[in-house]
Every structure is written in structure tokens, then in C-alpha cells.
Amino acid sequence: MKEPKTSLGAGIGLIVGIIIGSATNNIGLWIALGLWLDLFSS
């Protein structure tokens, strides 16, 4: 039952990472940070 929530969180982290990464010109860092925060919070 935890899987959908985790994948949703990862998707949000990925989207936010892409948006912030595009704004700051450092997409890779923000995607990694978003995914790491998602793993850490679940």
C-alpha cells in the first residue's frame, strides 16, 4: 500500500526538481535532492 504514495512523491520531487533546476540551471542536483528527500521521508 506504500508503493503508490512513494512513486507519487518521487514524481512530485522529480517535477519540482526539473522546475527549480531549470530556474537555477542545475537540474541534476535538484532532481537528486528531490528523490533523496522522497526516500528519506518515506
Domain locations in the chain? 3-41
> Among residues 28, 29, 35, which one has the least CA distance to residue 8?
35
Inter-residue contact 17 to 35 (CB < 8 Å): yes
Q: How confident is the model at residue 2 (pLDDT cuts 50, 70, 90)?
A: low
* 4/9 Cα distance (integer angstroms): 9
Q: How confident is the model at residue 4 (pLDDT cuts 50, 70, 90)?
A: low
> Among residues 2, 3, 5, which one has the least CA distance to residue 13?
5
Q: Which residue has the higher pLDDT, 31 or 23?
A: 23
Record the pTM: 0.49
Amino acid letter at 22? Answer: S
